[in-house]
Amino acid sequence: MISTDPDVISEMNRRRFLSMVGKGVGLATLTSATVAGLLDDVHAATRRVENLSPEDAAMNEDFWFEIQSSFSITRGITNLNNGGVSPSPRLVTEALCRYTWQQEDVTAYTMWQILEPQCETVRTGLADIFGCDREEIAITRNASESLEIILMGMDLKTGDEILTTTQDYPRMLTTLRQREQREGLILRMIKVPIAPEHLDDITTEFEKAITPKTKVILISHVINITGQMMPVKAITNLAKSRGIEVIVDGAHAFAHFDFKQSDLGCDYYGTSLHKWLFAPKGTGLLFVKKDKIEKIWPLMAADKSQKNDIRKFEEIGTHPAAPRLAIGEAILYHNGIGGKRKEARLRYLSRYWMNKLKDLPNVRFHTSWQANQSCGIANVEIVGVDPGALGTYLFDKHKIFTTPIIHDEFRGTRITPSVYTTLKELDRFADVMTTIAKKGLPKS
């Protein structure tokens, strides 16, 4: 009997995909013995936990030691700022180097005739993760480019309102302010509850702010400064009932936790792939629902024959093929670990250090503890301690790299471990934070 369980089907598809690549089909990247060997190491580790639930696998330190070892990174610095941009596992870097050397050989022919066409298989792999048609995926350079394509490409008129939040990414707010200045659009921003008791509290704030002039809502899937996971599906349903377009900023969500496009219901989604997918730097994804492609203007002009083609959003002039192709190895790595295992581990790591600090004096979290509201990103404040000074002290004295957050509504430190982060590194971070919470920052 063929299983109809979606999780079983997903696992079958994952194994079939990896099997095909291993036989030289599809991504055609494993002619490199080094990359093949590194991927084999990941598969061997995964086989040891394949009978465990994602939550049990998240606590299996033998498995995660193998994953930690697949990154070529210094341990002289504890990197707790993986939310900005993440190191890639060695197999991705090896592939990037291989493609770079390959594109240097008769470049005009090799890059455009041999390498660029192979990016279509990368498009397919990304669509598989996101759960959409490959003809709805454009490969971009980052989330900002993806989102600006939509924000600048929509036909809006003077007086139309765009609704977002005060905690949205600054570059996107700058984009909207430029349209506001040039075209007379109206940017409206609402405050969302910090670490709300219920996700519905956020949806309610959006509902109250909608007016008859609201034409677009920009919403972060995950707020980058707190790690707050937003109720995208509820807000999308609300917006569609009012004829409002929704653009989702997925910079900190894609490949961070497990979801599909159908879980969101959105028509537009932009993300970076060099964060949680661990792809080469300067790679991103744009999803545009097929029936919406025609009406969005590309940032750089495309021929009218491409009006319904998702590739019109990739018209940026000459660009290297190597980073785009090496996304394929990042896909293999992500699927090799398993999206649900990865999500469980990232949530386990965040709760690990949070639990060590939660009962300390003067410690305040700006991130919800609920599983449906946060995963691997969290924001913590030691009341009375300046986040900038704290970040400087952590790095200068302990070589712990963090992200100070100074916002009009709160201040704190963003902590983003990754799959290569060890528990010993988090213990050390927690020990230093404990001392500061009890005694304050040492006098310089």
pLDDT in tens, 194-225: 999 999 999 999 999 999 999 999 999 999 99
| 221/400 Cα distance (integer angstroms) | 27
| 401/397 Cα distance (integer angstroms) | 11
Its pTM stands at 0.91
pLDDT for residue 39:
82
Between 419 and 27, the more confident residue is 419
Q: Taking 80 as the threshold, does the pLDDT of residue 24 lie above it?
A: no
pLDDT for residue 444:
67
pLDDT for residue 168:
95
Q: Each residue of 33-82: pLDDT tens digit?
A: 778 788 888 888 899 999 999 999 999 999 999 999 999 999 999 999 99
CB neighbours (10 Å) of residue 382?
23
| 17/1 Cα distance (integer angstroms) | 21
Q: Each residue of 85-112: pLDDT tens digit?
A: 999 999 999 999 999 999 999 999 999 9
Q: What are the residues whose beta carbons fall under 8 Å from the beta carbon of 345, sequence distance 6 or more?
A: 57, 58, 64, 419
| Averaged pLDDT for residues 316-343 | 96
| 165/187 Cα distance (integer angstroms) | 10
> What tokens does 168 get?
């949205």
The whole-angstrom distance between residue 41's C-alpha and the CA centroid of its chain comes to 25
Q: Taking 50 as the threshold, does the pLDDT of residue 428 lie above it?
A: yes
| Averaged pLDDT for residues 19-26 | 38
Q: Taking 70 as the threshold, does the pLDDT of residue 30 lie above it?
A: no
Strand ranges, E, within 328-435: 363-365, 378-382, 400-401, 403-406, 411-415
| DSSP secondary structure code for residue 387 in this structure | H
| Averaged pLDDT for residues 359-388 | 97
Residue appearing with tokens 């999206």: 339
pLDDT for residue 43:
87
pLDDT for residue 333:
96
Q: Give the number of C-alpha atoms closer than 13 A to the C-alpha of residue 170, restricted to the C-beta side.
A: 5
Between 380 and 10, the more confident residue is 380
> What tokens does 258 get?
């497990």
| 221/232 Cα distance (integer angstroms) | 6
284 phi and psi angles, rounded to 5 deg:
-150, 180
Residue appearing with tokens 């049990």: 56
Q: Taking 50 as the threshold, does the pLDDT of residue 14 lie above it?
A: no
H helices present in 157-301, as ranges:
170-183, 200-209, 232-241
Amino acid 183 reads E
pLDDT over 90, % of the chain: 89
All domains in the chain, ordered by first residue: 6-77+86-118+331-338 (no CATH), 134-324 (3.40.640.10), 341-439 (3.90.1150.10)
Amino acid 74 reads T
Q: Taking 70 as the threshold, does the pLDDT of residue 10 lie above it?
A: no
Task: Answer yes or no: are the C-beta atoms of 313 and 138 closer than 8 Å.
Answer: yes
Report the relative pairing of strands 284-288 and 245-249 from DSSP bridges: unpaired
23-to-166, 325, 338, 429 alpha-carbon distances in Å:
49, 18, 20, 44
pLDDT for residue 19:
44
pLDDT for residue 353:
98
Report the relative pairing of strands 403-406 and 411-415 from DSSP bridges: antiparallel
| 330/336 Cα distance (integer angstroms) | 10
